Structure 1
Amino acid sequence: MSLKRTLALAAALVLPLQVTAAEDPLKVGFVYVGPIGDHGWSYQHDQGRKELEAHFGDKVQTTYVENVNEGADAERTIRRLAQAGNDVIFTTSFGFMNATARVAADYPDKTFMHATGYKRADNLGTYLSVTYEGRYVTGTAAGMVTKSNTIGYIASFPIPEVIRDINATFLGARAVNPDVEMKVVWVNTWFDPAKEADAANTLMDQGVDVIVQHTDSPAPLLAAQKRGVWGVGQASDMSHFAPDAHLLSVVNDWGPYYIKSVQAVMDGDWESADYWGGISDDVIKIAAISDKLSAEQRSKIDSVIASIRSGEFHPFTGPIKDQSGKVRVAEGVEMTHEELAGMNWYVEGMTATIPQ
């Protein structure tokens, strides 16, 4: 056999191996704080993972770990995903921040993205949905339908994400109903149906007739329906759980962000950034607004959504004072992402206190 034919045959044998290696899927891992069956936060992140798979097909291979505690368990889980060869790892709760940063420092060749935190590095980015936009819409609706002028908020943990959403709900309600008050119950959990239901009943015992939640199960909505008051869905469309009580749901759609981020990694042009996605790019959606509302109420809600989407209106535009009456945001000034990311105070008119 001639040298030329020998080299050609060798190339033919090697080529399929090269093609196979090039087609190895990008491995993508997800870490969830709750179960994917919570029908809230973790459920919606997992819907985004499924959108990612549907978009890329066999170009990606995804893995997820659910019910991960925010502490040592988180670091062990993230580290195992990195050791297992995942090229991209999404960690989806604020309490995973320090663990994600530590593991990212040990694996500089991998890409990490952490939801709702603020620590970044060359291979670690942050992302969140601008839920306060949806909460402002929630407050608008709640302020119009409440008869007791008392709204209740079931809060998870006293972190800036939750505090600013409480404020946004209250500002939205006060904009249409200056007599509204808001009560807050802290449950110190993201997902505990029994605790969430107890909190809802406690609020309703205090005269609340609209329940808003920053927790992930449909238990508060079910409790609201049982007692004939309004409730608001968290993270996903929860209308089917309690159709009589359901006012609206603030939905997180993570699929577009996950697809865009993974594509950037594939293309080699991913860069660490702090991404905030809201109504304007459909990361936040207002779903299943109740058909029990009047045409005037529905029109008001739609106009608020439209003004936020267009950028004409920002929910945190001054003048805004805190509980003590101190001006925190001057007239006509919009709060920056950095200021919102560190919000640890209630707006004027709130009578609740923030746990230390």
Structure 2
Amino acid sequence: MQKKPRNMLLRTLAAAIGLSTALTAVAADPLKVGFVYVGPIGDHGWTYQHDQGRLMLEKELGDKIQTSFVENVAEGADAERVIRNMARGGHELIFTTSFGYMNPTVKVASQFPEVTFEHATGYKQTDNVGTYLSRTYEGRYVGGFLAAKMTKSKKVGYVASFPIPEVIRDINAIQLALDKYNPGTEMRVVWVNSWFDPGKESDAANALIDQGVDVIFQHTDSPAPIQTAERRGVYAVGYASDMQHFGPKSVLTSIVNNWGPHYVKSTQAVIDGNWEPQDYWGGIAEDTVQLPISNLVPAEVKAEAEEIIASIRSGEFHPFTGPIVDQSGQERLAEGVSATNAELASMDYYVQNVKAELPR
């Protein structure tokens, strides 16, 4: 569904009622853009990075837009209420930024067909709902390579949030890199069933380190696992934002989500009237995923990591290329075959050698 440019609609309206002065006032009204956040903007991770994207949007489009946000919105009924209130409040574009907002977003969108919605990490699109996510698995693979090179115990840990495809494929990407660059290295997972709970995240990291893990990954939103790794003298890989300053002696790299360019592009499309629903996947090639590698990594290892990054950026290498076998021994991807976006979006299995049980 293609919408007319906002200014064209306003001019038509003004001409119909013969109020040129009203046209001038109405046409200058900024596009109201809303953001719904699952955590606090000060989480220094997922929500913080989305808010950095919102701030870039304000900087790039200036007085053409007006943004607002609601933070700490629980997934479920609370999210539906917040999204509906935004739509009722005159927001013409609404970004909902957590997997659990998918169904509430689609439900509210059906009630407000003239409002444009974009949902992060989901897979349901309609005439006025698009989806977007980052190919964090590309960054995880590079992080897995670094872990393979830096581990001494051959035990790597992952502080996980919820067993959704995004989290599962990231765990798998790390294991695939471990298998290639340091065979026999184990991946252990602790689920905290929360996106943002610093206490639980720290406890999970401590539990993993107590099991001999000497590189910590996380798929949660606070820097607590990084701070725990720093205190206990093990390496870590940050997530969502650059977490180097939380662990200057521990962080090897961070898988940074750079949302700003997508927010600018989508918002401009709504203003121009040419927005269309899509399933946007941004990765290393699009600069949606960034990997600042710290000086803790030896120069030769960093150089090899940069080569892997370059091969992913060029399309020469796809981390999920067969043969890939799951924990049960079933072949999931044949030799030389790369996973499609649909296969990645529905991933519900661990690859071979992940030393963990997948919650069901």
TM superposition score normalised by structure 1: 0.95
- The one-letter amino acid paired with 2:283 is G
Q: Which residue is 2:47 aligned to?
A: 42
Counterparts of 2:353 and 2:221 in 1: how far apart (Å)?
27
Q: Write the letter of the residue equivalent to 1:95.
A: G
Uncovered stretches (5+) of structure 2, i.e. residues with no partner: 1-17
Matches within 5 A, 1:21-40: 21-40=26-45
Q: Which of 91, 105, 108 matches 2:96?
A: 91
Match of 1:315 among 315, 319, 338: 319
Q: Equivalent residue of 1:189, what SS?
A: coil
Task: Report the AA paired with residue 273 of structure 1.
Answer: Q
What is the rounded CA distance, in whole Å, between the counterparts of 1:175 and 1:92 in structure 2? 34
Which string of whole-angstrom CA distances, capped at 9 and with x for unpartnered residues, describes residues 323-355 of structure 1?
111110011111000011000000011121111
Deviation at 1:174, TM superposition (A): 1.7
Q: Does 1:71 pair with 2:76? A: yes
Task: Name the CA distance, whole Å, in 2 between partners of 1:353 and 1:292.
Answer: 32
Q: Does 1:341 align with 2:341?
A: no
Question: 1:326 corresponds to which residue?
Answer: 330
2:303 counterpart letter in structure 1: S
Structure 1 residue identity aligned to 2:307: S
Question: Partner amino acid for 1:293?
Answer: V
Deviation at 1:170, TM superposition (A): 1.0
Residue 14 of structure 1, CA deviation: 4.5
1:130 and 2:153 correspond:
no
For each residue in 1:44-72, what CA deviation from the matched residue of structure 2 results, as whole angstroms up to 9, or x when unmatched?
Answer: 00000000000111110001000000010
Which residue identity lines up with residue 182 of structure 2 in the other structure? N
Using the TM superposition, name which of 248-257 and 166-175 deviates more.
166-175
- Considering only aligned residues, what root-mean-square deviation do their CA atoms show, in Å? 0.9
Partner-residue secondary structure (3-state), 2:267: helix
C-alpha distance in structure 1 between counterparts of 2:250 and 2:58, whole Å:
34
What amino acid maps onto 2:131 in structure 1?
Answer: T
Which structure 1 residue ranges, 5 or more long, are not aligned?
Answer: 1-12
- TM-superposed CA distance for 1:23, in Å, is 1.1
Q: Identify the residue that residue 120 of structure 1 maps to in structure 2.
A: 125
d(CA) in 2 for partners of 1:20, 1:232: 50
Q: Percent identity?
A: 63
Matched, 1:303 2:296: no
The one of 284, 288, 294 aligned to 1:283: 288
Letter in 1 for 2:175: F
Three-state SS of the structure 1 residue aligned to 2:354 is: coil
State TM-score, norm by structure 2: 0.94
The residue type paired with residue 337 of structure 2 is V
Superposition map of 1:1-356 within 5 A: 14-287=19-292, 289-356=293-360
Give the superposition deviation at 1:295: 1.9
The offset of 1:241, in angstroms, is 1.1
| Cα separation, 1, equivalents of 2:150 and 2:262 | 34
Quick one: which amino acid aligns to residue 331 of structure 1? E
Deviation at 1:292, TM superposition (A): 2.3
Amino acid at match of 1:336: T
Question: What does the per-residue CA deviation read over 1:128-180, in whole Å, with 9 as the maximum and x for residues that have no partner?
Answer: 01110010011000010000000000010000000000000111122210121
Report SS of the residue matched to 1:63.
strand
Bigger radius of gyration: 1
For 2:178 and 2:30, locate their aligned partners in 1 and report how far apart those are by CA, in whole Å. Answer: 48
C-alpha distance in structure 1 between counterparts of 2:230 and 2:358, whole Å? 28
Q: Which amino acid aligns with 1:302?
A: E
Matched letter for residue 203 of structure 2: D
- Secondary structure (helix, strand or coil) at the match of 2:69 reads strand
Matches of 1:101 and 1:177, distance apart in 2? 44
Structure 1 position 190, deviation (Å): 0.5
Q: Which amino acid aligns with 1:235?
A: A
The whole-number CA distance in structure 2 between the counterparts of 1:19 and 1:78 is 30
CA distance in 2, matches of 1:178, 1:205: 22
Shift in Å, 1:118:
0.8
Deviations 1:49-96 (A, max 9, x none): 000000111110001000000010000000000000000000000000
Provide the rounded CA distance (Å) in 1 between the counterparts of 2:295 and 2:196.
29
Output the CA distance in 2 between the equivalents of 1:112 and 1:14.
31
CA contact (8 A) 2:249 2:296 kept: no
- The Cα shift of 1:282 comes to 0.3
Aligned to 1:290, the other structure's residue is in SS state: coil
Contact 2:226-2:236 at 8 Å conserved across structures:
yes
The alpha carbon displacement at 1:267 in A equals 0.9
Structure 2 letter corresponding to 1:151: V
1:290 Cα deviation (Å)?
Answer: 2.0
- Residue 280 of structure 1 aligns to a residue whose secondary structure is coil
